[in-house]
A and B are shown apart, each in its own frame.
Chain A
């Protein structure tokens, strides 16, 4: 595997990247929830890098938060955390969530 130097910094902030996407957020009904114990698992922590919409952040050491406004419903977080039980994942209610203009 090649080195990961220069491979952690994006060239633009996520909000800018997602700015043109279309979403209908289902207020008060998050479709992904985190159930974490005292310390986030390595898998959960890795979502800070792996989520392609940047929905996850380490709010304080060992505690991960999710904000679903930019979620593209890809399923990455569910698969990555399948062994830990920390991610409760379903699709948004019909009609809500991301709505691709071009796909």
Chain B
């Protein structure tokens, strides 16, 4: 029998580190195990950090966390092959003392977050892959096996923050393999430019201001997916992701989508002359509420991406990870204080606290969105194209009178779906999926 801890946390991403931090701060003996050479070495995100979830854990994080830029402007682009139709919102109100959203580089951010976990008193070991859960005769989880030599490491509870693939839980037979309809495959490049170039190209006042561009339409070539462009301090994160089931159907390589996105006439000038210093790929759990696996059992809990905690509609994930990590940890701390064992029945408090939080409320709200898009993929291409045609009709001055132009614009939208009935049906379906 090896060492014994109150809790073992598998993974040092935002979910695992949030859980380890909360338990360590409460005085529990916590061991956090990470397979990367440092925290963050295996982790990928766009990445936008939503301050709120982190602020609840580390109120003063802005003073020391490696943040890139705070977001002062949000753009949404609907792309067709040669155009984009966009909406944007910029406000000086986002230049506040405690900004709400930041761009970050996860490899740096996760290392810092993990350092706060160590400061709180948790023990961390890197470069160690957890290979399995250890159970007692009754089937209760009592520890983990790793690829290091030595006996298994024991704990009262194992918090699985192992990321989207959920391999440890799969091996233990407590969750199924992922469904290709429930994960997006995303690829991204980090393209370096000078700080000044980033500011000029995105019309930014200073080194701390940033822009987020979320992109739909031809960027996903008819698949369910989106693209994004985020400004970091001296680099641009540019990526695209689509459901794996759609990639299976089209057999289009993800990097070809990214190449096309980078070459789009609206995008190419933003990244021109930049140097790509990293190309990454990662899966994003996008199955939503109905894809959430079993979240707890005797002696174990699941947090973060491993639990499918991503709100794909709003591009939120790391905040759900931190929140689920925090709620799981609080459940464990509470049970410890009451002297209660970490049985499945007792850990079910975690599920209840999730239901009461924004996490489950938001995932429930959008549970019909992905299935609706699955059945209506035309929406992702037809409308951006129609909108682009309508805009050209509006903007080109060519001697046509404005009433005729107006009729032509309306006709573009109608023609996109072969009649008003279909347009109205689409609108109704989307409204229902979004309500």
Are B167 and A90 in contact (CB-based, < 8 A)? yes
Task: List which B244-259 residues lie within 8 A (CB) of chain A.
Answer: 244, 246-257, 259
The segment from B179-187, B347-355, B402-410 that touches chain A is: B179-187
Residues of B within 8 A of A24 (CB): 37
Residues of A within 8 A of B106 (CB): 100, 102-103
Contact with A along B124-162 (1 / 0, CB 8 A): 001111010000000000000011100000000000000
Q: Does A62 contact B (CB under 8 A)?
A: no
Are A92 and B129 in contact (CB-based, < 8 A)? yes
Contact with B along A61-100 (1 / 0, CB 8 A): 0000000000011111011101000000011111101111
Q: Does A18 contact B (CB under 8 A)?
A: yes
Given the known A-B contacts A80-B180, A90-B167, are A7 and B252 also in contact in the complex, defined by CB atoms under 8 Å?
yes
Task: List which A43-76 residues lie within 8 A (CB) of chain B.
Answer: 46, 49-50, 52-54, 72-76
The segment from B41-49, B54-62, B113-121 that touches chain A is: B41-49
Are B244 and A79 in contact (CB-based, < 8 A)? yes
What is the interface of chain B mostly: helix, strand, loop, or mixed? Answer: mixed
Residues of B within 8 A of A52 (CB): 185, 187, 253-255, 281
> Which of B129, B183, B190, B283 is in CB contact (< 8 Å) with A91?
B129
- B285 CB to closest chain A CB (Å) equals 11
Residues of A within 8 A of B131 (CB): 90
Are A11 and B263 in contact (CB-based, < 8 A)? yes
Q: Does A8 contact B (CB under 8 A)?
A: yes
Given the known A-B contacts A8-B253, A52-B253, A102-B235, are A95 and B277 also in contact in the complex, defined by CB atoms under 8 Å?
no
Q: Does B105 contact A (CB under 8 A)?
A: yes
- B175 CB to closest chain A CB (Å) equals 13
Residues of A within 8 A of B341 (CB): none
Are A50 and B107 in contact (CB-based, < 8 A)? no
Are A103 and B110 in contact (CB-based, < 8 A)? yes
Residues of A within 8 A of B250 (CB): 1, 4, 7
CB closest chain-A residue, reference B45: A103
Are B255 and A1 in contact (CB-based, < 8 A)? no
Task: List which A1-53 residues lie within 8 A (CB) of chain B.
Answer: 1-2, 4, 7-12, 14, 17-18, 20-21, 24, 46, 49-50, 52-53
Q: Does B165 contact A (CB under 8 A)?
A: yes
Residues of B within 8 A of A53 (CB): 281
Are B35 and A49 in contact (CB-based, < 8 A)? no
Select the residue from A12, A74, A82, A93 with max chain B CB neighbours within 10 A.
A74
Are A98 and B42 in contact (CB-based, < 8 A)? yes
Are B47 and A103 in contact (CB-based, < 8 A)? yes
Q: Does B74 contact A (CB under 8 A)?
A: no
How far, in angstroms, from A10 to B255 measured CA to CA in the complex?
7
Are B253 and A10 in contact (CB-based, < 8 A)? yes
- B375 CB to closest chain A CB (Å) equals 13
Are A20 and B279 in contact (CB-based, < 8 A)? yes
Q: Does B29 contact A (CB under 8 A)?
A: no
Residues of A within 8 A of B128 (CB): 94-95
Residues of A within 8 A of B110 (CB): 103
Residues of A within 8 A of B256 (CB): 7-10
Are B129 and A100 in contact (CB-based, < 8 A)? no
Residues of A within 8 A of B47 (CB): 103
Given the known A-B contacts A99-B37, A100-B42, A103-B45, are A18 and B180 also in contact in the complex, defined by CB atoms under 8 Å?
no
**Nearest 6 CB-CB pairs, A to B?**
A95-B127, A2-B222, A103-B106, A52-B281, A103-B107, A94-B127
